[in-house]
Amino acid sequence: MSGQLSMDQAFVEGLKTILESNFANEHFGVQELADKAGVSRSQLHRKLNTLIGKSSSQFIREYRLEKALEMLQNEEATASEIAYRVGFNSPTYFNTCFSDFYGYTPGEVKFKKNDIVANDTLVDNSAVISSPTAVPKKKNFKTLFWVSGIVLVLLLGYSFYHNAKPENDIEEVPIHLREDKTIAVLPFQNLSDDSENQYFADGIREDIINHLSKVQEFIVKSRQSTEMYRDSHLSAQDIGFALDANYILGGSVQKHDNRIRVRVHLINSKTDVQLWYRDFDREFQDIFELESEISRLIASELNVVLSPHELELIDKVPTDNLEAYNLYIKALYSLYYDENVDLARRYFNLCIDEDTGFALAYSGLAESYLWENWPTPTVKDAAQVKELAIKAMELDESLSEPHRVMAYVNETYDWNWTKAEKEFQEAIRLNPNNYYAISEYAMYLQYVLGDFEKAREMIELAQLVNPNSSFTAVLSAEFYLQEDKYKKALEETRKAKEYAPKGMWAFWVDFKIYTELGNYDQAVRQLEESWGFVEAFELNIPPMLEAYEKDGVKGVYRMINDMDINNANSEGVQHNAYWIAQKFAFLEEPENALKWLEIAFRRKNAELFMIKYDPYFENLRSNSHFLEILEKMNLGDYQGGLKL
């Protein structure tokens, strides 16, 4: 055992010796250290993680910071000069890393040194490094009095700051400071001999999107927004204009046996100029280091200084089991591209069989249960989602998606508003580009809290991340309609129809808009057009037109409600009781509306969380039965707010 320990110590010391000869070279990184040590990048990472609990890049960075502290204590040069001497290509980044590691700035080192000398406290370098805020042995009561006063002021300031700015504030980097670093990652081409390796190319792209999304200064367009350009021949400039993205990242992937070749290029879409491209030829086992390196190179190219925390997230290896990872990206492909939930779930479960500590697999499995019976999860589904999401969070506290699915269940199923809001905010804090979390949080703000202004901010952020989303455009239209901003609502539904020409929801919102405007003929034309897209609905067009001729728009509502009630009585149809209640409310039949709201309550219909500020129920807001439903859902009333 002691022999093994000394061998391990010798390995770490050997690495330090290599770094000693190269620490001033800013280009000497993980790959170079691994080459000098005679191991692969992945072997180096696993070895250091096992021995000292650090990633390879963290080990190199902290060694450089230790050398910097020695130089600063010896007053060899200014902090900026030392930053370059120890291999940092930016003094600003050096200052950030130094402050995070030691707890004070490089400029304060000389004062720390003077404090130590003045108090006759002899501390060697190792002690300073391990305890940068060493306390002098001799104490002076008068000094302590003033220090106590300063500490009190600081504590009061800290308390004021945290009361004024909630801990979960999600806009750590304001939008206007992020918009100039907006990136769209296009689908990567599969150049492998086997066409079925497309899942692998998409998996690498997904990982790079996730890495970049964790950088606070970036706005990263969602996978959904760039998917339409998979086989596009448009220029980067045209795609950038369409997506409102300043930078376009494209690439190709070739996999053969245990070797992978990845080519990536970054283009400034405003000028249509390629900024850089790189070819990477690696072993499959180095896939995670490769994805991290690509992400760091992009940040460097765009002059983004990554914080130590962001670097840690980017360098994090999700699993040491490559077969588990391969199954995982197959699961994602099945879920997102093939929309085959059963197959995706099978792959996720195989992932977990391979590696029971693979947090992403539990997170993906949790999401699959939301897809199973969307939009209303069953009791079993909801329990599975929470159990799996909690497991994923326990294994990896940096993941955003488990918080998002947990928020969704607490909002739509448990009606635990405090928990839902907390989880939404945490999901967005962990990934400022989590499109689903942002858009779902917008709905929470609009319909649960009635905070229309904040909901509008969130929906605009969702549209920034996913600019060609029909869902987000229609949701935005619904929000405008609720505020009687009909022109803006129509502009949003027009965009939604461009993004999804046969999407029926946009036509239904237009039906509601034109009904509010009193243009009933145009309203009915919206339904007639959208029903023509679906063969099963075409048969209902003549009866709908007949109902309109006979009883106007109310006749149309009644006719659609009859259809929905028939469907609601069918086995397995759970989610439309809420829609039926909406239409009865429009028809000014409060008893029927409340009857179906009770059914929606018993079934836990997913959209019931919208009840409090749903415009359909505006005339019921003083009804005692309606207020009882709000009370049972912990929604409170319109004076006291939520029951938290």
639 located within any domain = no
* Shared-domain flag, residues 179 and 312: yes
Q: What's the mean pLDDT in 520-529? A: 96
Tell me what the pLDDT averaged over the chain comes to. Answer: 84
Q: What's the mean pLDDT in 279-297? A: 93
Give the pLDDT band of residue 473 (cuts 50, 70, 90).
very high
* Shared-domain flag, residues 91 and 15: yes
Inform me whether the pLDDT recorded for 3 exceeds 90. no
Distance CA 373, CA 159 (A): 45
Inform me whether the pLDDT recorded for 42 exceeds 90. no
For the segment 215-252, what is each residue's pLDDT rounded down to a tens digit?
Answer: 888 999 999 899 989 988 899 999 999 998 999 999 99
CATH code assigned at 125: 1.10.10.60
* Shared-domain flag, residues 182 and 55: no
For the segment 529-562, what is each residue's pLDDT rounded down to a tens digit?
Answer: 999 998 888 889 999 999 999 999 999 999 999 9
- The predicted structure's pLDDT at residue 128: 34
Cα distances from 191 to residues 20, 184, 593, in angstroms, run 41, 21, 57
Phi and psi at residue 637, to the nearest 5°: -120, -165
Which domain, by its residues, includes 29?
2-130
Give the pLDDT band of residue 92 (cuts 50, 70, 90).
low
Inform me whether the pLDDT recorded for 457 exceeds 50. yes
310 located within any domain = yes
Could you give the percent of the chain with pLDDT greater than 90?
Answer: 56
Domain count, the chain: 2
Residue 26: DSSP 8-state: T
CATH code assigned at 255: 3.40.50.10610
Q: What's the mean pLDDT in 408-430? A: 95
* Shared-domain flag, residues 8 and 105: yes
Residue with tokens 């250091």: 48
* Shared-domain flag, residues 293 and 231: yes
- The predicted structure's pLDDT at residue 84: 79
* Shared-domain flag, residues 16 and 99: yes
For the segment 133-152, what is each residue's pLDDT rounded down to a tens digit?
Answer: 333 333 333 332 333 332 32
98 located within any domain = yes
What tokens appear for 603 in the block? 């079934």
* Shared-domain flag, residues 306 and 180: yes
H-run or E-run covering 274: strand 273-283
Inform me whether the pLDDT recorded for 46 exceeds 70. no
Residue with tokens 């250290």: 33
Phi and psi at residue 408, to the nearest 5°: -60, -45
- The predicted structure's pLDDT at residue 381: 85
- The predicted structure's pLDDT at residue 144: 29
Q: What's the mean pLDDT in 401-409? A: 96
Higher pLDDT, 571 or 453: 453
Inform me whether the pLDDT recorded for 168 exceeds 70. no
Biggest distance spanned by C-alpha atoms of the chain: 98
* Shared-domain flag, residues 113 and 191: no
473 located within any domain = no
544 located within any domain = no
Domain boundary (252, 281, 316) is at 316
* Shared-domain flag, residues 305 and 186: yes
Inform me whether the pLDDT recorded for 1 exceeds 70. no
For the segment 294-317, what is each residue's pLDDT rounded down to a tens digit?
Answer: 999 999 888 888 888 888 999 999
Inform me whether the pLDDT recorded for 18 exceeds 60. yes
Give the pLDDT band of residue 608 (cuts 50, 70, 90).
very high
258 located within any domain = yes
- The predicted structure's pLDDT at residue 158: 31
For the segment 174-225, what is each residue's pLDDT rounded down to a tens digit?
Answer: 444 455 789 999 999 999 888 888 999 999 999 999 999 988 889 999 998 9
460 located within any domain = no
Query: What sign for the dihedral angle of Cα 247, 335, 397, 167?
Result: positive
Please state the pTM of the whole predicted model: 0.71
Domain boundary (294, 316, 338) is at 316
Q: What's the mean pLDDT in 268-286? A: 91
For the segment 612-630, what is each residue's pLDDT rounded down to a tens digit?
Answer: 999 999 999 999 999 999 9
Domain boundary (296, 316, 336) is at 316
Give the pLDDT band of residue 380 (cuts 50, 70, 90).
confident
What tokens appear for 37 in the block? 């040590």
* Shared-domain flag, residues 124 and 179: no
* Shared-domain flag, residues 25 and 110: yes
Phi and psi at residue 357, to the nearest 5°: -105, 15
Under a CB-based contact definition with an 8 Å cutoff, are residues 36 and 18 in contact? yes
110 located within any domain = yes
Residue 412: DSSP 8-state: I
* Shared-domain flag, residues 73 and 193: no
Q: What string of H, E and C letters represents the secondary structure of 82-145?
A: HHHHCCCCCHHHHHHHHHHHHCCCHHHHHHHHHHHHHCCCCCCHHHHHHCCCCCCCCCCHHHHH
Higher pLDDT, 640 or 260: 260
